Amino acid sequence: MDPPPTAPPTAQPYSPEQAMYRPAYPPGQYPVVTQQPAPYAQQTTNTTVVVNQQPVVVQKAQRNWSTGLCGCFEDCGSLCRGIFCPFFLLTDVSSRMGEGCCFPCCCPGALLGLRIKLRVQQNIQGTLFDDYCKVECCPLCVLCQLARERNHVERRG
């Protein structure tokens, strides 16, 4: 005959340090698993990628001034205004370039600034040093050239 079943050994009380790590089930009494656990819910993530194409800058070849620095006789009207009342010609050019008529009064380097602005806007060849030297050496010629170039740009379109 079989020996009588023995009672499970009595559990020893756990010490406070062991109580933290005590198993969820007492020894020898584990639940029976009859099926696989259900899979976790799958998360779907939609990602939208937006690709912006950078604009391509095509730079046209730089052009020359429509008239030379000493081409004053190509426009006698701006020559006369430049000789007899250069300040009024400067305020007129400044206004036509969108800077207002007070710009030359308030800015000591107005002529240089206007020359650089027109040269850059119209993609005209030149350097800052070249602009500075011409304004310092012959401001009246530069003023008349600006007026002629402004007229040329307005006629062209």
Q: What is the pLDDT of residues 49-104, one digit of tens each?
A: 888 888 877 777 889 999 999 988 888 888 999 999 999 999 999 999 999 889 99
Residue 130 pLDDT greater than 60, yes or no: yes
Residue pair 119/153 in contact (Cβ under 8 Å)? The answer is no
Q: What is the pLDDT of residues 8-34, one digit of tens each?
A: 555 555 566 665 666 666 666 667 777
Is-above-0.85 flag for pTM?
Answer: no
SS3 157: coil
Residue 87's pLDDT is what? 93
Residues with Cβ within 8 Å of residue 60, at least 6 apart in sequence: 123
> 94: exposed, middle or buried (C-beta count within 10 Å: 0-12, 13-18, 19+)?
buried
Residue pair 29/14 in contact (Cβ under 8 Å)? The answer is no
